[in-house]
Amino acid sequence: MNKHYLMSKMKSTGTAYLCWFFLGCHYAYLGKWGLQILYWITIGGFGIWAIIDLFLIPTKVNNHNLKISMQIDEIDKKEKADNHAQNMAMMAAATGNNKPTEA
C-alpha cells in the first residue's frame, strides 16, 4: 500500500463526534459497517450504547489511527532497508567489489 493513501485514511476525533451527534454514523466513519447497522437497528442500544460511545469515541479513533500508523512504520522500515541495500550495492560496485559488505 502507498504511504500517502494510508495517511489519507487517518480519522479525526472531532469528525467522529460530529458523525455520532448528527447521524449516529461514527462506526461507518471508522469503517465498521457491521457495528453501524447493529447500532442503527437497536437505535443506539436504546440510548445506552450511544451514551457509552460518547466516552469511547476517542479510544476507537486512536485505535483505528494506531493500526494505520503501524502500517506506515512498516513501509518506512522497508523503504529504509531497500535504500540501504541499494547504497551498499552501489558502493561495492564503485570500489570494484563484487560482493557487498554488511554493516
The predicted-structure confidence for 31-71, as pLDDT tens digits, reads as follows 999 999 999 999 988 999 999 999 999 999 999 999 999 99
In order, the DSSP letters of 13-80 are HHHHHHHHHHTS-HHHHTT-HHHHHHHHHTHHHHTHHHHHHHHHHHHHHHHHHHHHHHHHHHHHHHHH
Structure confidence at residue 60 (pLDDT): 96
Q: Is the residue at 71 inside a domain?
A: yes
Check pLDDT > 80 for residue 26.
yes
pTM exceeds 0.85, yes or no: no
Give the Cα separation of 40 and 37 in Å (integer). 5
Give the Cα separation of 103 and 90 in Å (integer). 14
Contact between 53 and 61 under an 8 Å Cβ cutoff? The reply is no
Of the candidates 34, 39, 33, 32, the one whose C-alpha atom is nearest the C-alpha of residue 60 is 32
Confidence of residue 101 (pLDDT cuts 50, 70, 90): low
Q: Residue 40 belongs to what domain range?
A: 11-94
DSSP code, position 97: -
Q: Is the residue at 57 inside a domain?
A: yes
Give the Cα separation of 61 and 12 in Å (integer). 7
Q: How many domains does the chain have?
A: 1
% the chain with pLDDT above 90: 77
Q: Is the residue at 103 inside a domain?
A: no
Q: Is the residue at 3 inside a domain?
A: no
Check pLDDT > 60 for residue 6.
yes
